[in-house]
Every structure is written in C-alpha cells, then in structure tokens.
Amino acid sequence: MSGTVSVLIAAGFGLIAGIGITAVGPGGVFATVGLFLASGLSPAEVAGTAIVTHLATGALGSVAYHRSGQLRHRETRRVALVLAVTAVAGTPVGVFLNSVAPGQLFGVLLAAFLVAIALLVWFRARPGTADGADPHHPAALLICLGLGVAVVGGMFGVGGPLLTVPLLVLAGTPVLSALGAAQAQSVVVAGVGTLSYLGRGTIDWPLALAVGLPELCGVLIGWKVAHAVPARILKRVMIVALLISAGLVGIHG
C-alpha cells in the first residue's frame, strides 16, 4: 500500500469518525481504526496520533452543542464537569496500559472493543430518552463512568463520546444531552492523552493533521445529521460500521 493511499484511507476514516462523534457518539474509534489499518504505526503511535485529533473535534462539538442548547442545561453542565474532572485521573492510566500491551494484543483488543461498542449501541435505546428532562445522576455513578471511559480513551486514543453517550442514554439521559456532555469530556481526555503520548514521543503529527482535518469537517456534518435523522436509523448505521471495522481489524491483525 503506497503512502498516499494510506493517508487517504486514514483521512476517510477520520471523516467517518467526525460524523459519528456528533451524530451518534461512538465515532472517534474510527480514527484509531484507520490509523491501525493503514499507517503501519505501533500501538502507542496509533493511539497517540488518534487522540490528538480529538482535541479539536471535542472543542468544536462542545461549541456546537452549546449553540444548540444542550450544554446550557444545568444538569448537562454538571455531568460534563464531573466527567471532565475524572478524565484527568483516568486517561494516564489508559496510556500506561497501552505501553505495556504487546503489539499483536492491541489489534485483538481493538477488534473486541469494536464489537463491544456495537453491542452497547444496540442495547442503549430506551423509551422516553430521546427527549424530555435530564435526570439527576448520582455523583458516584458519574465518577465511575468518567474514570472507566478515560482509561479506555487513553489506551485506544479515543474520546469520551464513544462510551459515554450509550452509557448515559442507558442511565436515562436524552441522546442530545448525552452527546453534549460527552463532547466536553472528550476535550479533557484528548488533552491529557496528548500530553502523555507527547512525553513518550509517539505522535505522528503529519498523520494527525491528515486525519484531524477531515474529522473536523465530519463533526459539523454529524451535528446536522443528529438533528435531522431519527436516532434509530443512526444507531443501526453505527452498529454496521462498527462490526465491519471489527472484521477489518481482525483480518489485519
């Protein structure tokens, strides 16, 4: 595979990642998948390069959901704050786990992770969570959720929405509110993760730019899609994309 083709494939996955981040939530992992399949980087370089891209997408997604009103809700802001604070502690743990995992194991874990996310998205829908008021989640629940998501984010180079959105929806949060809170968390996961991988010298900046720019475009597209397309359709599309990606990662590994 030529260098140009590899970059184009990674960029295409970046675009898909951006759309998924703001349209459904579990989208950021596609940046990791694209880099894993096309770049030939080590697991630490894949995760480090991928997580850099989520700095801008998380910030842009946060602005978008503030503009549309979700991040102006008091309870959504509270959820976002708790998730962001716990990300400071959890993300470095994930970066450490990435550094001790054998390269071949990383591909296996990534494929399994994709399947797990697909199942989580499948089971996440609950009647009455698409609209309505945000529930008041216990702080202990949010802390556990935030720490777990941050560890996974640091290990695979993904942002908060990947896991946070389906888990919050399962807990009764409206989809758009969950998406908004997860964008803010993603900024912190990406920021702490970037500093951690930067210290290890495992970030490919040209590839991060090649993936990150299409991902930013995808974030804007996904935000529009989330307000225009029924959630059940978005969910089905995401499940298919995750399972296909798991198959590709499994074959590649």
Encoding tokens for residue 159?
Answer: 């942002």
Contact by Cβ (8 Å): 184, 161: no
SS3 1: coil
The token duo for 10 is 């990674």
Rounded distance between C-alpha atoms, residue 93 and residue 127, angstroms: 35
The parent domain of residue 120 ranges over 3-252
3-state secondary structure of 118: helix
pLDDT in tens, the chain (253 residues): 556 778 888 899 989 888 887 787 677 889 999 999 988 889 999 999 999 988 887 888 788 888 888 788 888 889 989 999 999 999 999 999 998 887 778 989 999 999 998 888 787 654 444 445 567 788 899 999 999 999 999 999 987 777 888 888 888 888 788 888 888 899 999 999 999 999 999 999 999 999 989 988 988 888 888 888 887 888 888 889 899 999 999 888 6
pTM over 0.75: yes
Residue closest to 239 by CA, chosen among 149, 124, 146: 124
Q: Provide the number of structural domains found in the chain.
A: 1
